[in-house]
Chain A
């Protein structure tokens, strides 16, 4: 066994330049595989983290997922009944008993909840109408269930508690409409109500669209503006462990029957986009490694070709076909293993280099660093893939070597 490795090593070392080139191929392949997959994974993690941060973990809506069970179905439980035009009911009056529901949610472990009423209003200024989404919440709860507080650039959320007529708007709206803190703005709603609010805070999330269209204010103000006093059309839940949102949402829905949507559910299409993106990425970086594996295939094929005589003589002295196969497989394994061992550190250097790059993604207002994930899975996947590619690349010529018949060589060689 050790002897076979010795023979394999001699074969490789007898062709230093060629071996070095094919080794380099694997090193570069592994490094790129690692760096690109770390970057993709990093940006995905970053993306999901933002998604989790910036959206409610669970949103409870004032509607039902399924139509209510009809009395006729309860009367004949074992029959097939077709009821046409049966639709899930929408509660036009908002969520019934939302205060009790909020209290119940707050009693759950690691869960924060607040009722909210959202609606649209129009802000007219200098002859132009701007549509604004109003987020009415209980001011004391806002910090717990939104990330707006982290993004305040002027004024504060607390001002909403002090000034019941206050409103917090985005920096982009401020800029476009040349507003400044303390200004009054007048909003009109489809209910016909028109009311004036005082700007007490400004936030900037970095997403221009959000920063120009969202506004936060006391739920009571929104209720008044919408003519929907004492109503809430959504309950927003934030959790300490957002990854459990799906099961908790299911639990809540089974208890209160209102449609409860976890962040996972509401971003399912995004998740499948990410999965497709990962697949594309892995096929591209795998291609790099497959090209590198061709390098290994090439050198080992060459060695096998040149070594037909030596193989014949080894067999004549009693080496079995499988010994010969093993010798050439070991050559692939040696090149693959060295390539992985050198490629991973080189990949780390690449990853480190990528981390130094900053860029401005569209829609963001501040430059961000390239997100690179240092998770151990990328290292394992890159290493294992390269190793097995090298093994497979040497398997084909090794099998050829094993099939060499000494008699053919001896007959021809004399």
Chain B
């Protein structure tokens, strides 16, 4: 089966007074149903690699195919389309839009994609929220929710357009251990039960240990990439 993400020799150098190498020669493939963790010391380039894979940043050199498309030949709108249809992001901070209710936040990607009616989008939003166990919060503004609840809303939003790829950057970084466990469980289930490719950057070694496959970064280079047994 064709890998959902195929990166070859990805390198990202930041040009400034002193050139900084964020990611250097990273090659990896991720397929549907895989749950991959990326760990490494602070400043080793984990986030930078994730942004490259998520098409939020452009590599200085190397190749990157997402869902079978050569992403380096695409313009801004083309990249946005791939993100819209194939990717969901979860960040350390939830980044919910403060003026909109929880449900409206979850509906944001659906409305942009525009292939559901308002009613269908609403129903789907509510069902995603109830999967996260927070359907009762649907009509509240985000500031009325706890951090763990917000993060679950953010996951629901990331899943709005049924993306094949889910990219998470320290999704449990701001959460207490109970909420962390819930979020971990949700991400794991997405890979195993729903066949999504899930890539998680984390500092949390327990969380990383639950992944099917562990990638370790040191100084922007992949130092190890092995399956858990």
> Chain A: residues with CB nearer than 8 A to chain B?
3, 10-11, 13-14, 309-310, 312-323, 406-407, 410-411, 413-414
User: Pick the contact of A414 from B57, B88, B92 — CB < 8 Å?
Assistant: B92
User: Pick the contact of A317 from B57, B92, B93, B108 — CB < 8 Å?
Assistant: B108
User: Pick the contact of A322 from B47, B77, B87, B160 — CB < 8 Å?
Assistant: B77
Q: In this assembly, does B112 line the interface, its C-beta being within 8 Å of a C-beta of chain A?
A: yes
Tell me which of B3-11, B24-32, B95-103, B206-214 binds A. B95-103
Whether A323 pairs with B100 at a CB distance below 8 angstroms is: no
User: Pick the contact of A316 from B81, B83, B114, B170 — CB < 8 Å?
Assistant: B83
Whether A11 pairs with B99 at a CB distance below 8 angstroms is: yes
Whether A410 pairs with B56 at a CB distance below 8 angstroms is: yes
Chain B residues with Cβ below 8 Å from A14 are 98-99
A312→B87 CA distance, assembly (Å): 15
A320→B108 CA distance, assembly (Å): 13
The chain B residue sitting closest to A3, CB to CB, is: B111
List CB contacts (< 8 Å) of B149-203 with chain A: 157-158, 160-161, 169-170
Whether A320 pairs with B77 at a CB distance below 8 angstroms is: yes
A14→B100 CA distance, assembly (Å): 10
The chain A residue sitting closest to B86, CB to CB, is: A318
Whether B112 pairs with A318 at a CB distance below 8 angstroms is: yes
Whether A309 pairs with B51 at a CB distance below 8 angstroms is: no
User: Beyond A10-B99, A407-B51, is A317–B111 a contact (Cβ under 8 Å)?
Assistant: no
Q: Apart from A309-B95, A317-B108, what are 10 other A-B pairs with CB-CB below 8 Å? A: A10-B100, A314-B97, A316-B89, A318-B83, A318-B84, A318-B85, A318-B161, A410-B91, A410-B169, A414-B92
Chain A residues with Cβ below 8 Å from B95 are 309-310, 312-313
A334→B88 CA distance, assembly (Å): 32
Q: Mark B98-118, 1 if CB is under 8 A from A, else 0.
A: 111000000011011110000
Whether A414 pairs with B108 at a CB distance below 8 angstroms is: no
A411→B80 CA distance, assembly (Å): 19
Among A13, A320, A411, find the residue whose CB has the most chain B CB atoms closer than 10 A. Answer: A320
A261→B218 CA distance, assembly (Å): 95
Whether B97 pairs with A317 at a CB distance below 8 angstroms is: no
Chain A residues with Cβ below 8 Å from B161 are 318
Whether B51 pairs with A410 at a CB distance below 8 angstroms is: yes
Q: Which 5 A-B pairs give the minimum distances between C-beta atoms?
A: A318-B84, A3-B111, A313-B95, A318-B83, A10-B99
Whether B112 pairs with A323 at a CB distance below 8 angstroms is: yes
> Chain B: residues with CB nearer than 8 A to chain A?
47, 51, 54, 56-57, 76-77, 80-81, 83-85, 87-89, 91-93, 95, 97-100, 108-109, 111-114, 157-158, 160-161, 169-170
Q: How far apart are B118's CB and chain A's nearest CB, in angstroms?
A: 9
Whether B112 pairs with A3 at a CB distance below 8 angstroms is: yes
Q: How far apart are A314's CB and chain B's nearest CB, in angstroms?
A: 7
Q: How far apart are B43's CB and chain A's nearest CB, in angstroms?
A: 12
Whether B56 pairs with A319 at a CB distance below 8 angstroms is: no
Whether B93 pairs with A413 at a CB distance below 8 angstroms is: yes
Chain A residues with Cβ below 8 Å from B157 are 317
A394→B169 CA distance, assembly (Å): 34
A319→B93 CA distance, assembly (Å): 19
Whether B97 pairs with A313 at a CB distance below 8 angstroms is: yes
Q: How far apart are A340's CB and chain B's nearest CB, in angstroms?
A: 25
User: Pick the contact of B84 from A10, A310, A317, A414 — CB < 8 Å?
Assistant: A317
The chain A residue sitting closest to B154, CB to CB, is: A313
Chain B residues with Cβ below 8 Å from A3 are 111-112, 114
Chain B residues with Cβ below 8 Å from A414 are 47, 91-93, 169-170
A407→B114 CA distance, assembly (Å): 25
Q: How far apart are A7's CB and chain B's nearest CB, in angstroms?
A: 8
Whether A407 pairs with B57 at a CB distance below 8 angstroms is: yes
Among B89, B99, B109, find the residue whose CB has the most chain A CB atoms closer than 10 A. Answer: B99
Whether A318 pairs with B54 at a CB distance below 8 angstroms is: no
The chain A residue sitting closest to B78, CB to CB, is: A320
A133→B99 CA distance, assembly (Å): 79
A337→B12 CA distance, assembly (Å): 46
The chain A residue sitting closest to B107, CB to CB, is: A3
Whether B76 pairs with A318 at a CB distance below 8 angstroms is: no
Whether A319 pairs with B80 at a CB distance below 8 angstroms is: yes
Chain A residues with Cβ below 8 Å from B113 are 318
A14→B98 CA distance, assembly (Å): 10
Q: How far apart are B129's CB and chain A's nearest CB, in angstroms?
A: 17
Q: How far apart are A243's CB and chain B's nearest CB, in angstroms?
A: 55
The chain A residue sitting closest to B167, CB to CB, is: A316
Chain A residues with Cβ below 8 Å from B88 are 317
The chain A residue sitting closest to B82, CB to CB, is: A318
Chain A residues with Cβ below 8 Å from B77 are 320-322
The chain A residue sitting closest to B111, CB to CB, is: A3
A136→B172 CA distance, assembly (Å): 105
Whether A310 pairs with B57 at a CB distance below 8 angstroms is: no
Q: How far apart are B58's CB and chain A's nearest CB, in angstroms?
A: 9
A411→B14 CA distance, assembly (Å): 13
Chain A residues with Cβ below 8 Å from B92 are 414
Chain A residues with Cβ below 8 Å from B97 are 310, 313-314
Whether B54 pairs with A316 at a CB distance below 8 angstroms is: yes
Whether A318 pairs with B51 at a CB distance below 8 angstroms is: no
The chain A residue sitting closest to B48, CB to CB, is: A411
A310→B142 CA distance, assembly (Å): 13
Can you name 22 A-B residue pairings with CB atoms under 8 Å?
A10-B99, A10-B100, A13-B99, A310-B98, A312-B95, A313-B97, A315-B80, A316-B54, A316-B56, A316-B89, A317-B83, A317-B88, A317-B108, A317-B160, A318-B81, A318-B113, A319-B112, A320-B77, A320-B81, A323-B112, A410-B91, A413-B93
Chain A residues with Cβ below 8 Å from B100 are 10
Chain A residues with Cβ below 8 Å from B170 are 414
A14→B56 CA distance, assembly (Å): 29
User: Pick the contact of A406 from B56, B98, B99 — CB < 8 Å?
Assistant: B56
